[in-house]
Amino acid sequence: MERYRFDRPNATIGRAFDNDIIVHDPYVDARHLRITNDLNGLAVENLSEEGFTIIDHKDATEPRVPIASGVRIEIGKTHLRVFSTAHRVAPVLKFERVDRLFTTLTRPSIVAVLTLAYLLLDYGNTYLSSFRETTFAADAVAIVTPLMPAILWAAFWALISRISRGEPRFFHHWVAVLIALSLVIVFGRLAQIVAFNFASLALNQVLNYATMAITFAFLLTINMRFAFRQRVWMRHAFAYGSTAAFVAYLVLSTYSFTREFKPFPQFDSTLMPRAFLGRSNISEEQFLTNVDSLFIFPSEDENDDKQTERDADNPAIDSIEDASAPDSSS
Amino acid sequence: MAQDAQSIYAEVSESIFQILIIERESGKKVAIGSGFLISTGGQIATNFHVISQAVHEPEKYRVEYLDSNGVQGPLSIVNFDVVHDLALVTLDSAPQLAPLRMANAEITKGEAVYSVGNPYDLGQTIVPGTFNGLLERSFYHRLLFSGSLNPGMSGGPSLNSSGDVIGINVATSGNQISFLVPVKYLIALAEEDAANLPSEGYKDAIERQLVADQEYKYELLIGREWTTQNLGEAQVAADLNDYFKCWGNTNDDENLKYRVTQTSCTSEDNIFVSARFHTGAIDYQYAWVTSEELNTLQFHSLFSTLYSSMFTRNRAAEDDVTNYQCEQDFVSDESGSRPEQWRSVLCVRQYKNYPRLYDVLYMGSLFGEPDKALSSHFALSGVTQKNAMAFSKKFLELQSWGS
């Protein structure tokens, strides 16, 4: 189901690309009909010579038929309902805020502007971390490359939408991806400032995960909204559930990573200009005092140690003891 | 009386053995080296690194000898000097063989030296070469032998033309650059009373030797005034003492929008503890970074990426060391001529088997200027808390913006 809003006196419908509403229906004429809204009220003008038009289950034979708001029109195999803005629409058909926003954002011209804006943002972000002379071609490739998976993602959801609702809505999914990617960049930079100020690797990681979780939840919510007809709570349960699973995976893998042996130290190396620093320094002496307490390491599990020592000393006797009376040694 | 290789070989070959490390489970050798008889009581000298597996895992490995007549038999460990890579093992019963004589006269540069050992398990060989002096720019003095030492010859003797031992084969850098442990360390080890070693345990003995060694090294370093040099607009430490080898480098890649001038100093002393665990090295580096093309955000971002990793040169595995713990903060020093702001990180890890020793890493970034910055770094391996703190304090106090 597609929704269109017009704030001008007329709109044409047909298969041809210069129509206001393009219908992919072989039974519809290239330019099939025009809907007008003027002082005389709503009316339908039949522009097709061969195709037929049914208004409220009746063949429209007149070239111009006045209609009431909310009336059902059939052209070819396509059904239309026309509402005037004065008409009170039933709640189920009301545009929700997100739908309204996306109806605007998915106009081709706006999609083009948004895509361009994202490319500029991405370029600016990359530029801040590039320290070599580069060529335009290399820059272009570097910027477009990450867009490829984004296009695939949008195409994947468009396919799902096509199967599930018969409406591909590629632009809806594409705009959602663009917004998500922009969020990643903006949040990433904000997180950098916070991590820099707190000089903390753990905080840096938490902020990174939070950014990922928010973006992922947002993207899934929007994708599912336009791809499925399920109830709201089902869509949300799926989107937030997946996000929670994703975050749980990140936290678990980080936890297991911190327990592994690493030959290199892990620390936060974020460095920014002094203007971004909103905290005071400590003195060299204070730093060295803090460092001094680093030398306290939790000792290895003592029981394990004792066991290995005993084993090493006298393996034969130990194994006999263990088999018969474990406490006989004391 | 000067002799040639033939007569020297004839004189000593009977008292030189192949040392085998036998895996108890398979009964086959896993490592080989050489050794030579130094006392009538049956004591044999070799390298610590030859027998290290049997020291660390006696339940898995044992030491055996193979003499020039093809007789094989067990050896037991008497004592070792992990710092100078020496070990003493002993035969069960005193053999009817003459021990090698230790040289007591100084050897002069250019003298002929004959090195004996068992390269690649090919059988006993004698390698002629030239003595090329004592390596003085090192914490542990070694003799430079211009001759070819090969794996398997470790622990074998190097003899002067009278057939007296002047050093013990220990390492090679290829191309006839080989190193010998001076015989004086072997004499000292042989005179040491090793009666306490079994009760002390090998682990504790190694720790005791490593701790004593780093005390000696850091006393030499911390006790003296460090000279400084300018690097860009900053003041940094010059050569801490003669035992460090220092190198410099400036990048001149025209595609880079920045310049880095580095000085890097290292003491090339790595003590072999086990095949996967070396310790003892000290390194420090400075880098002066400038850029005219990068904006201040880019410049700081560059600095973050350039110095996000740091490491020690020593080799260590999970069984040897804990993970690093780090302390990081913004540190300022208002006492100098210009206010200074450092982003400092110091990381420490402990040796699991030798808990009095640590590896310590420091990374400091002197930042705040839009287009120039200094990064300073040091890495200490196998150091006690006391010496690490003293070194850190001295290192931190010295670095600054130049006057």
- What pLDDT band is residue A325 in, cutting at 50, 70 and 90? very low
Q: CA B207 to CA B188: how far, in whole Å? A: 19
pLDDT tens string B56-108: 999 999 999 998 888 899 999 999 999 999 999 999 888 888 899 998 878 88
Query: What 3-state DSSP class applies to B383?
Result: strand
Contact B310 A264 (CB under 8 A): yes
Assembly ipTM: 0.86
Q: Which residues contact B335 (CB under 8 A, 6 or more apart)?
A: none
**CATH number, domain at B189?**
2.40.10.120
Does any domain span residue B224?
Answer: yes
CA–CA distance, A10 with A42 (Å, rounded to integer): 9
Angle among Cα B286, B287, B292 to the nearest 5 degrees reads 160
Last residue of some domain: B170, B198, B226?
Answer: B198
Mean per-residue pLDDT, B265-289: 90
Binary contact (B330, A279; C-beta < 8 A)? yes
Contacts of A30 (CB under 8 A, 6+ apart): A14, A15, A16
φ/ψ of B341, rounded to 5, equals -130, 120
Q: Is the pLDDT of residue B338 over 70?
A: no
Single out the residue of B254, B375, B208, B239 nearest to residue B303, CA to CA: B375
Statement to judge: residues B160 and B306 lie in one domain: no
Residues of B in contact with A291 (CB under 8 A): 327, 346, 348, 389, 392
Which of B144, B163, B198 is the last residue in one of the domains? B198
Partner residue opposite A273 with nearest CB, options B300, B345, B347: B300
Distance CA B36, CA B14 (A): 9
Residues B160, B14 within the same domain: yes
Q: Which amino acid is at B269?
A: D
- pLDDT for B94 equals 81
Rounded percentage of chain B residues whose pLDDT exceeds 90: 54
Does residue B177 sit in the same domain as residue B241? no
Q: Per-residue pLDDT tens for B95-142?
A: 888 899 998 878 888 989 999 998 888 888 899 999 998 887 778 888
- How far out from the chain centre does Cα B268 lie? 6
Q: Which of A270, A291, A314 to mutate to test the interface with B (most CBs of B within 10 A)?
A: A291
Residues B186 and B229 occupy one common structural domain:
no
Bridge partners of residue B17, in order along the sequence = B35
| Residue to substitute from A128, A264, A294, A299, interface B, most B β-carbons within 10 A | A294
Tokens of A323: 């088999």
In three-state secondary structure terms, B11 is: helix
Hey, which residues does B3 pair with through a beta bridge? none
As a whole-number percent, the residues of chain A with pLDDT over 70 amount to 87
| Among B165, B198, B231, residue at a domain's last position | B198
| Residues B124, B88 within the same domain | yes
Q: Is residue B253 a part of any domain in this protein?
A: yes
Q: Report the gap between the CA of B38 and the closest CA in chain A (Å).
A: 31
Cβ–Cβ < 8 Å for B216, B386: no
Q: Is residue B87, in this structure, part of any structural domain at all?
A: yes
As a whole number of Å, the end-to-end CA separation of chain B is 63
Question: Residue A137 in contact with residue A153, Cβ under 8 Å?
Answer: no
User: Residue A306 above 50 pLDDT?
Assistant: no
Instruction: Please report whether residue B369 resides in a domain.
Output: yes
Close Cβ partners of A153 (under 8 Å, ≥ 6 residues apart)? A173, A177
Give the pairing of strands A282-283 and B325-333: parallel
Q: And the tokens for B392?
A: 């850190």
User: Residue B272: phi, psi to the nearest 5?
Assistant: -80, 115
Q: What is the mean pLDDT of residues A245-265?
A: 90
> What is chain B's Cα-based Rg?
25
Q: What is the pLDDT of residues A17-72, one digit of tens each?
A: 788 888 888 888 888 889 888 877 888 888 887 777 888 888 877 888 888 888 88
In angstroms, the CA B104 to CA A113 distance is 88
Mark yes or no for CB contact A288/B305 under 8 Å. no
Query: Which amino acid is located at B207 in the chain?
Result: E
- Give the closest-approach CA distance of B367 to chain A in angstroms: 8
Do the Cβ atoms of B352 and A128 come within 8 Å? no
Q: Can you say whether the dihedral through the CA atoms of A320, A325, A327, A329 is positive or negative?
A: negative
Residues B134 and B260 in one domain: no
Tokens 């289950």 map to which residue? A57
C-alpha closest to that of A46 among A16, A74, A7, A26:
A74
| Gap between the Cα atoms of B154 and B179, Å rounded | 10
Determine the Cα–Cα distance for residues B402 and B400; give it in Å rounded to an integer. 6
Phi and psi of B120, rounded to 5°?
A: 50, 30
Distance CA B86, CA A130 (A): 52
Cross-chain CB nearest to A131 (options B258, B325, B332) = B258
In a domain, B178, yes or no: yes
The verdict on B160 and B236 lying in the same domain is: no
Backbone φ and ψ for A212, nearest 5 degrees, come out as: -60, -45
Give per-residue pLDDT as tens, A214-246. 999 999 999 998 888 778 888 889 999 999 999
What is the count of residue pairs from A and B with beta carbons less than 8 Å apart?
137
Please name the amino acid found at residue A279.
R
Strand partners of residue B376: B286, B364
Both structure tokens of B172:
């090679």
Clarify whether residues B172 and B77 are in a common domain. Answer: yes
| pLDDT level of residue B2 (50, 70, 90 thresholds) | low
Q: How many independent structural domains does chain B possess?
A: 2
What single letter denotes the amino acid at residue B397?
Answer: E
Residues B158 and B115 in one domain: yes
Taking an 8 Å cut-off on Cβ atoms, the answer to whether B327 and A132 are in contact is: no
Residue B62 contacts residue B95 (beta carbons within 8 Å): no
Query: Do residues B211 and B356 lie in contact, with contact meaning Cβ atoms separated by under 8 Å?
Result: yes
Measured CA to CA, the distance from residue B63 to residue B49 in angstroms comes to 12
CB-nearest partner of B300 from A265, A271, A284? A271
**Do A288 and B323 lie within an 8 Å CB cutoff?**
no
Strand pairing class (B142-146; B157-159): unpaired
Instruction: Provide the residue count of chain B.
Output: 403
Smallest Cα–Cα separation from A31: which of A43, A49, A55? A49
- Domain span holding position B321: 208-401
The answer to whether position B356 is within a domain reads: yes
Nearest to B310 among A262, A265, A277 (CB): A265
Cα dihedral across residues A179, A181, A185, A188: positive or negative: positive
From chain B, the residues in CB contact with A127 under 8 A are 298
Check if the beta carbon of residue B342 is closer than 8 Å to that of residue A286: no
- Please report, rounded to a whole number, the percentage of residues in chain A having pLDDT higher than 90: 28
- B363 and B229 both lie in a single domain: yes
Do B192 and B311 share a structural domain? Answer: no
How confident is the model over B280-333, as pLDDT tens digits? 999 999 999 999 889 999 999 888 888 777 777 778 888 999 999 999 999 987
**Could you tell me if residue B203 is inside a domain?**
no
Residues of chain A with C-beta less than 8 angstroms from the C-beta of B316:
263
Burial (0-12, 13-18, 19+ Cβ within 10 Å), B1: exposed
Evaluate whether residue B129 is within a structural domain: yes
3-class DSSP state of B164: coil
Same domain, B42 and B174: yes
Question: At residue A321, does pLDDT exceed 70?
Answer: no
Give dist(CA A69, CA A88) in Å, integer.
9
| Beta strand spans in B312-402 (E) | 325-333, 340-350, 358-366, 372-383, 400-401
List the structure tokens of A226.
């336009």
Tokens of B255: 């595609």
DSSP A101-137: HHHHHTSHHHHHHHHHHHHHHHHHHHHHT--B---HH
Q: B194-210, pLDDT tens digit by residue?
A: 777 878 889 999 999 99
CA distance B95 to B98: 8
Distance CA B53, CA A68 (A): 96
Q: How confident is the model at residue A328 (pLDDT cuts 50, 70, 90)?
A: very low
